[in-house]
Chains A and B, each alone.
Chain A
């Protein structure tokens, strides 16, 4: 029996209900797995991550959010616009943020740390600390890496693959479920094969169609999706 967690993206959980005779199975993202979400720029990958994160927070699942393109302030405001307010999660340690973007950084605290894509060792140290502190009191948590692309661009790709593997091993060991976003075609073919190999589930989005290329316990699935003012809305299976 594969346990799934609710994704927070409208229509996604319905799409991912396994064809189960008993009719008891629920859809969502398989727990304790790594999902690669890839596609071109601007197709809604970050929005997917926002909804995923908020869904967790609102059901008492903490989230460790590593952002490399948007600074946290942008994320906060984008999520406000979607009606997903992070206000109540700014205090406490439900939301741990590592902001490795180039933009203006928030004031640092135990749960909001700054880093840089040029310093993957620093990212890994902060992420590890974050995982340790989150998982101490929580049997499950969510993780977001948005995106791995920016880190690949600034470093030796194989070094990043090792760092990514370390991240994945730590998340899984601690009971987490993570999404990693990537802009396809921006790295070596070999690197992209490795990333796909390291992930458990692979979802491709291209602006119009969402394709679940691989998911634990599920065959391939395809559906139209839209970016709306409330976030992504996934349609019925095609």
Chain B
């Protein structure tokens, strides 16, 4: 089994094993925790590190439109334009349409509607195919489940997520999904945790990683102007 580097200082070392440092490749990981603990920053770092290693990324943004996403990442010094030009980054923006703005679709940017999972899945299919042609080792980020839960019934979001994970894993991707605790009902939360392979919990002070084969690690973390940085950690 090979590993995928997260690029988050301290995390890859914490998760190191005989197979390498980082997440197990071709798995789905749920990043969850209360609001404002750094989940989005985590996914920016994960995506950006992959791009740095020339691993393409299919980034689905639902909370922030492409303008905001680009700006948010720039605040940490992560510049996307070069990767967009190299066609390594494919963005599906399902929220900008809410402002009535019609952004032109390009080869690596597609817009969708937040309350139309059918359309979103069509765009995911096209995006997956595009990225897969570039490399069959790629990353995908779903940032985040909050806005879909606001605009769609919970069971529909779950169904969508199952299909999304299945499609992306089939294509060889390593997937990250963000979820804010408390946005969905406890029953749905349980389902979310059961359909992924690994779970990362951020609570503002500690980051805890739990994989499907019972590997667990935890560490202190901070949000700096370079992103998330881990402190001393331990394997449990």
Residues of A within 8 A of B (CB): 1-2, 32, 128, 158, 161-162, 165-166, 169-170, 172-173, 189-190, 193-194, 196-199, 202, 213-214, 216-217, 219
Q: Which of A32, A169, A194, A216 contacts B183 (CB 8 A)?
A: A194
User: In whole angstroms, what is the CA distance A122 to B220 when docked?
Assistant: 47
A-B contact count (CB 8 A): 65
Size of the B side of the interface (Cβ < 8 Å), in residues, is 26
Q: Judge whether B36 and A166 touch: CB under 8 Å.
A: no
Q: List 7 A-B contacts (CB under 8 A).
A: A169-B65, A169-B98, A173-B67, A198-B63, A213-B36, A214-B36, A216-B75
Q: Mark B52-84, 1 if CB is under 8 A from A, else 0.
A: 000000000001110110010001000000000
Residues of chain A within 8 A (CB-CB) of B64 are 172
B180 CB within 8 Å of chain A: yes
Q: How far is the CB of B86 from chain A (nearest CB, A)?
A: 25
Q: Which of A165, A172, A193, A216 contacts B34 (CB 8 A)?
A: A193
Q: Judge whether B75 and A217 touch: CB under 8 Å.
A: yes
Q: Which of B14-22, B144-152, B158-166 contacts A (4 or more CB under 8 A)?
A: B144-152
Main secondary structure of the interface of A (DSSP, over half): helix
Residues of B within 8 A of A (CB): 34-36, 63-65, 67-68, 71, 75, 95-96, 98-101, 146-147, 150-151, 180-183, 223, 225
User: In whole angstroms, what is the CA distance A189 to B180 when docked?
Assistant: 13
User: In whole angstroms, what is the CA distance A58 to B147 when docked?
Assistant: 36
Q: Judge whether B99 and A166 touch: CB under 8 Å.
A: yes
Q: Judge whether B98 and A166 touch: CB under 8 Å.
A: yes
Q: Judge whether A196 and B65 touch: CB under 8 Å.
A: no
Q: Which residue of chain A is the closest to B67 with respect to CB atoms?
A: A173
Q: How far is the CB of A33 from chain B (nearest CB, A)?
A: 10
